Amino acid sequence: MRNLLITISYKGTAYHGFQVQKNAVTVCEVFQNAVEKVLKKREDVKGCSRTDSGVHAGQFCVGLSTEASIPCENLVRALNVNLPDDVAVLDCIEVPQEFHARYSSTGKRYVYRVWNSAVKNPFLGEYSWHYPYKLDVEKMNRAAADFIGTHDFSAFCSAGTSVEDKVRTIHFVGVEKNGDLVQITVEGDGFLYNMVRIMAGTLIEIGGGFREETQIPAVLASLDRAKAGKTAPAHGLHLDKVFYDEIEGFKRK
C-alpha cells in the first residue's frame, strides 16, 4: 500500500467547501470522482483541513492510500485531465505510512484579500472582498501584532463549533497594500471555525476607523464572540500554504 500526499489548488466559488456533503457539491467529491476515473476505484482521501463554502486554496494537501502502481508524475497528469477547470493537481509525492495530511500538519498560512477601492474590480470579485472605504494599513498592522502568541481564541470563533480547546498559537500576522489590493496574512499552528475571517473582519473595522486599534487584547481576554468584529466574507479567504516539518518543501521557514 502506497501513501501519497497530493497537493491541489482550487477556486472555491462553486463548491460548499472541501469535505463531502450529502446535498452539495464539494471539492473532495470532484477530486474523488477524478481518482475513480483514473484508478478505477473510489478511494478514500484525507484532506488537510475543512474549508468553508466559497473559500479558495492556493495549496491544499490531500492524503491518498492506494495499491495502484501508477507513478506520481503520471497520476498528476491523469487527474488533471479528469478534473474541472477550477481544481488542479500541482504535485504528488510518496510519504511514510504513518503520515496523515491533517494530523501531521504543523501549521497553515492563510491570506485574506480585500479590494480597497471605491470602484469594484470585475476580475477580482470572486477572489477578494470589495471594501470601498479607506483603510489605514499601518493601524491594522499595529493591531495585528496583538494576535501573535498563544491565546484562547474563543472570541474569534463562530458559534456552533464542537471544539472545546480554543487555544491556538499565531506565529505571524501582517497587512500589506499593493495598489488597491490589501492582503492580510496569518500563520499559525491551527485555526478555529471562521477564526481567520473574524480576525480579518476585526482588523478591517480597525483600519476603517470603526474600532480602536488597541482593542485586540481586551477582545481576546473577553472570550466573547460578540466583542470581536464581523466575519469577513468567505470569497476573500485563501488557504495559501500547509506546513509539515517532516516533509522537505513544506517546512515553515
CATH number of 107-242: 3.30.70.660
Q: Output the pLDDT for position 43.
A: 87
What pLDDT is stored for residue 57 in this prediction?
A: 97
Q: What is the pLDDT of residue 247?
A: 84
Can you give the chain as a three-state secondary structure string?
A: CEEEEEEEEECCCCCCCCCCECCECCHHHHHHHHHHHHHCCCCCEEECCCCCCCCEEEEEEEEEEECCCCCHHHHHHHHHHHCCCCEEEEEEEECCCCCCCCCCCCEEEEEEEEECCCCCCCCCCCCCEECCCCCCHHHHHHHHHHHCEEEECHHHCCCCCCCCCCEEEEEEEEEEEECCEEEEEEEECCCCCCHHHHHHHHHHHHHCCCCCCCCHHHHHHHCCHHHCCCCCCHHHEEEEEEECCCCCCCCCC
What confidence tens digit (pLDDT) does each residue in 205-250 have?
999 999 999 999 999 999 999 999 999 999 999 999 999 998 877 8
Instruction: Examine domains 2-104 and 107-242 and report if their fold is the same.
Output: yes
Domain extents in the chain: 2-104, 107-242
Regions of the chain short of the pLDDT cut 70? none
2-104 CATH, one of 3.30.70.580, 3.40.50.720, 3.90.190.20, 3.30.110.30: 3.30.70.580
Which residues are identified as catalytic?
Answer: 52
